[in-house]
Amino acid sequence: MARAARARQDRQRSAAPRATGGRVTIHDVAQAANVSIGTVSRALNGRGGVHPETRRRVLATATELAYDPDRAARELSNRRSVAVALSVAHGYPRLTPFFVLFLQRFSDHLADSGLRVQDVPTGSDGLPERDADAFVLLGAHPDDPRIAHAERLGRPFVLVGHHPGVRCVAPDDEAGGRLAAEHLLRLGHESLLHVSAMPHSQAYADRARGFDEAVRAALQRSSALAVADDGTPLSGYRALRAHLEAGSCPTGIFAASDELASGCMTAAADLGVRVPSDVSIVGFDDLPEVGTRLTTIRQDIDALARETVTLLREALQGERIRSLRLPVSLVSRGTTAERR
Amino acid sequence: MARAARARQDRQRSAAPRATGGRVTIHDVAQAANVSIGTVSRALNGRGGVHPETRRRVLATATELAYDPDRAARELSNRRSVAVALSVAHGYPRLTPFFVLFLQRFSDHLADSGLRVQDVPTGSDGLPERDADAFVLLGAHPDDPRIAHAERLGRPFVLVGHHPGVRCVAPDDEAGGRLAAEHLLRLGHESLLHVSAMPHSQAYADRARGFDEAVRAALQRSSALAVADDGTPLSGYRALRAHLEAGSCPTGIFAASDELASGCMTAAADLGVRVPSDVSIVGFDDLPEVGTRLTTIRQDIDALARETVTLLREALQGERIRSLRLPVSLVSRGTTAERR
DNA sequence: CCCACTTCCGTAAACGCTTACGAAGCTGAT
DNA sequence: ATCAGCTTCGTAAGCGTTTACGGAAGTGGG
């Protein structure tokens, strides 16, 4: 042990570069900033008891050395070991591309913050499992039984979606709907159609409300509505196709998700309706897969995941309930044009 | 140190249950099996120098206590730190449900085996990144540029798919195709259709070959073919719909994937064709999402992921190239019936 | 009967991090 | 000048695992 201590000491004091296989460790940062590893850790994790000047110096050298804390070590040390269970909303039997993206970000942020996911039953549709320490509920429709259930369980949880009175984080769906309407209206479109999978989620409902309010404000009437079975491209395709075959011919379409939008574009193509010259289409999400061409409402998935983790930690520490709405923005690409 | 050593000793000797927050550690197993933690580790990891009888006892107590090695600790200790990059095949711009499932399993097995994924650019379509230590290529079509590229790079890689001369693992697609054909033929169907997204992957080509050979052997002629744009349900829908609207009416359909099959089922429904009374449909993959109703060719995704990790480790250790074909089986459910 | 060799196993260091504890330095009140 | 109390920081233990090293049996040959 005396030997070990000396070795560690040596390593800390020695000016020679460490031989840890290239990895920059907390020791390197400590050495470079002329402090101890304890101080580095405290500075980096925002713990108290560090002189502001010291903190600044540590942070600076850390970024300079491109220090990236080792996750395994952090997890092992933290032993925060919260088993986070993810549950996909009822009515979302499938794992949407959106959720896949979210999940990636989410587990990154979770690991970064020293927490660990023990169990990620992504496919599970039903109510959250008993043996988890915390829950993340993905999506919610207004009377989601999982919410009452999670509350009854008394375990910390956060909802990715929107529901009054619970800790939740969601994009500003209503504002997004409004943005879409205003964009279409500004381009001169008055024959409007909203394609949505409405009953399934609060998000869809909010998007519809924002869209509808803006439309009513401008035109004193509502737009038409085509309801898709679920949120898949195929459901969007069938919804629009059926609508067009029934004889109506909108010039502006707001699809409640990029997936629906992609189905709509295919349907339009199959029926000889050209985008954007015959009809303009606005999506929602800004998924990278379809996104390169589509005019859409962009939401920041990474921020969504990050804030989910923040709220989750707050929940774990029993802090006051707080909810977040994340801003969205319209990105105008090739599928909208002025009405001819 | 004397203090620490004694503490550890105490913990090891003491009969009292450990207070590690419920987690069963290697110490618990050691204590229960009356050996040291070193021996437990060696026994569990198949290292040499353990008496068979001792090994047996350790293994027994480990399973009895439901010992589950801590990943973080294992990673930290192992420090094998291989940066594995995943690359999705050209022509598969999207992350299919199949790959999502695969990915989950894959990273589990990777972590279990002490390796660590540093970078998983799942969405990346192009050629593998320069800074990875190893690659996993997902899917391949016959002239996949990524294969030549990976070989040129000289870094270990394994292909999930099939290609001569490289380390690869794949389900027995050809046998699967044959199974589907034989099933349909056995039910008396002779007016057959194959729905596929053929040019995109070797897997689809192999499935088609197996199917076609069995069909030719029985009927002395090929089945009809409907080509879908990609592998999505929507593409399957459009392919079948177009085919049926063109006037042909098959009684047995083999869709090259469950996703295609699900689109086919919707198309049939939309056109008033009943499954399975009017037409029988066989899928491929056995995805849990669509799988509860669909007659399909089952492949073992977990095994696929496990073997991928095995081959990856072999590649990392420079062992001889070896390829695997995993068995598939037909599971008969509600979408096939005897020809009326 | 002893020694070399092998087989089996226990000990403790190491992986990179967090954090409890305590030491050192400073402030201001006495 | 002294001391309590605060702030700031260094030290080292500990998270659960793997593995190098060496010790203790057991085996066989001289």
Q: Which residues contact B212 (CB under 8 A, 6 or more apart)?
A: B177, B181, B194, B222, B223
> Chain B: residue nearest A1 by CA?
B1
Mean of pLDDT values over A148-155: 80
How many CB pairs below 8 Å do chains A and B form together? 63
Percent of chain A, pLDDT > 90?
Answer: 55
User: What confidence tier does A271 reach under pLDDT thresholds 50, 70, 90?
Assistant: very high
Q: Would you state the pLDDT for residue A18?
A: 38
Strand pairing category for A252-255 and A280-285: parallel
- Answer with the residue of higher pLDDT: B340 or A219: A219
When the pLDDT of each residue in chain A is averaged and rounded to a whole number, the result is 84
Note whether B2-69 and B173-299 share their fold.
Answer: no
Mean of pLDDT values over A260-289: 95
Identify whether the C-beta of residue B309 lies closer than 8 Å to the C-beta of residue B113.
Answer: yes
- Among B100, B112, B152, B145, which residue's Cα sits nearest to residue B130? B152
- Nearest by CB to A233, from B76, B232, B288: name it: B232
What distances in angstroms separate CA B246 from CA A46, B83, B250, one per listed residue? 67, 51, 12
Residue A55: phi and psi, rounded to 5, are -55, -45
Report d(CA B80, CA B112) in Å as an integer. 12
CA B65 to C1' D22 (Å) is 31
CA distance B218 to chain A (A): 35
Range from B54-63, B239-248, B304-313 carrying the lowest mean pLDDT: B304-313
- What would the 3-class secondary structure string for chain A be? CHHHHHHHHHHHHCCCCCCCCCCCCHHHHHHHHCCCHHHHHHHHCCCCCCCHHHHHHHHHHHHHCCCCCCHHHHHHHHCCCCCEEEEECCCCCCCCHHHHHHHHHHHHHHHHCCCCCCCCCCCCCCCCCCCCCEEEEECCCCCCHHHHHHHHHCCCEEEECCCCCCCEEEECHHHHHHHHHHHHHHCCCCCEEEEECHHHCHHHHHHHHHHHHHHHHHHCCCCEEEECCCCCHHHHHHHHHHHHHCCCCCCEEEECCHHHHHHHHHHHHHCCCCCCCCCEEEEEECCHHHHCCCEEEEECHHHHHHHHHHHHHHHHCCCCCCCEEECEEEECCCCCCCCC
Buried b vs exposed e over A171-182: b needs ≥16 C-beta within 10 Å?
Answer: bbbbbbbbbbbb
Mind listing the pLDDT tens digit for each residue in B119-136? 555 444 445 555 667 788
Q: What is the DSSP letter of B199?
A: G
Residue A266: phi and psi, rounded to 5, are -65, -45
Q: How many CB atoms lie within 10 A of CB B163?
A: 18
**A115 has pLDDT over 80:** no
Note the Cα A145 to chain centre separation in Å. Answer: 22
Identify whether the C-beta of residue B24 lies closer than 8 Å to the C-beta of residue B31.
Answer: no
Identify whether the C-beta of residue B76 lies closer than 8 Å to the C-beta of residue A73.
Answer: yes
Identify the CATH assignment for A2-69 out of 3.10.20.30, 3.30.420.40, 3.40.50.2300, 1.10.260.40: 1.10.260.40
Output the CATH code of domain A84-171+301-328: 3.40.50.2300
User: What confidence tier does A118 reach under pLDDT thresholds 50, 70, 90?
Assistant: low
Range from A135-149, B65-79, B159-173 carrying the lowest mean pLDDT: A135-149
Identify whether the C-beta of residue B238 lies closer than 8 Å to the C-beta of residue B231.
Answer: no
Note the Cα A159 to chain centre separation in Å. Answer: 11
Q: Where are the domains of chain A?
A: 2-69, 84-171+301-328, 173-300
Strand D at less than 7 A from CB of B42: yes
Report d(CA B24, CA B193) in Å as an integer. 55
Report d(CA B247, CA A31) in Å as an integer. 77
- Answer with the residue of higher pLDDT: B311 or A13: B311
CA angle B93, B141, B153 (to 5 degrees): 90
Report d(CA B3, CA A130) in Å as an integer. 40
Output the CATH code of domain B84-171+301-326: 3.40.50.2300
Mind listing the pLDDT tens digit for each residue in B94-123? 678 888 888 878 877 876 666 666 555 544
Q: Would you state the pLDDT for residue B139?
A: 80
- Nearest by CB to B72, from A72, A120, A238: name it: A72
**B320 has pLDDT over 90:** no
**B337 has pLDDT over 80:** yes
Q: Would you state the pLDDT for residue B130?
A: 54
Chosen for mutation from B76, B79, B131 (greatest number of chain A CBs closer than 10 Å) is B76
Residue of least CA–C1' distance to C10: B36
Q: Would you state the pLDDT for residue B14?
A: 38
User: What confidence tier does B15 reach under pLDDT thresholds 50, 70, 90?
Assistant: very low
User: What confidence tier does B183 reach under pLDDT thresholds 50, 70, 90?
Assistant: very high
- Answer with the residue of higher pLDDT: A249 or B95: A249
- Answer with the residue of higher pLDDT: B234 or A139: B234
User: What confidence tier does B201 reach under pLDDT thresholds 50, 70, 90?
Assistant: confident
Q: What does the block give as tokens for A243?
A: 């609508």
Q: Would you state the pLDDT for residue B81?
A: 61
Q: Find residue B226's DSSP bridge partners.
A: B195
Maximum average pLDDT range among A75-84, A111-120, B330-339: B330-339
**Chain B 67-126 contacts with nucleic strand D (CB below 7 A):** 67-70, 73-74, 76-78, 114
Q: What does the block give as tokens for B100?
A: 């999502």
Fold of B173-299: Rossmann fold (3.40.50)
Architecture of domain A173-300: 3-Layer(aba) Sandwich (3.40)
Strand D at less than 7 A from CB of B23: yes
On chain B, the residues whose CB falls within 8 A of the CB of A97 are 94-95
Nucleotide nearest to A30 (CA to C1'): D10
Report d(CA A318, CA A312) in Å as an integer. 10
Q: What does the block give as tokens for B151?
A: 């070989």
- Answer with the residue of higher pLDDT: B35 or B319: B35
**A186 has pLDDT over 90:** yes
At residue B38, the 3 state secondary structure works out as helix
Report d(CA A84, CA A95) in Å as an integer. 18
User: What confidence tier does B271 reach under pLDDT thresholds 50, 70, 90?
Assistant: very high
Q: Would you state the pLDDT for residue A37?
A: 95
Maximum average pLDDT range among A38-42, A66-70, A121-125: A38-42
Range from A183-192, B72-81, B151-160, B250-259 carrying the lowest mean pLDDT: B72-81
Q: How far apart are the first and last CA of chain A?
A: 82
What distances in angstroms separate CA B339 from CA B195, B213, B276, one per listed residue? 19, 21, 9
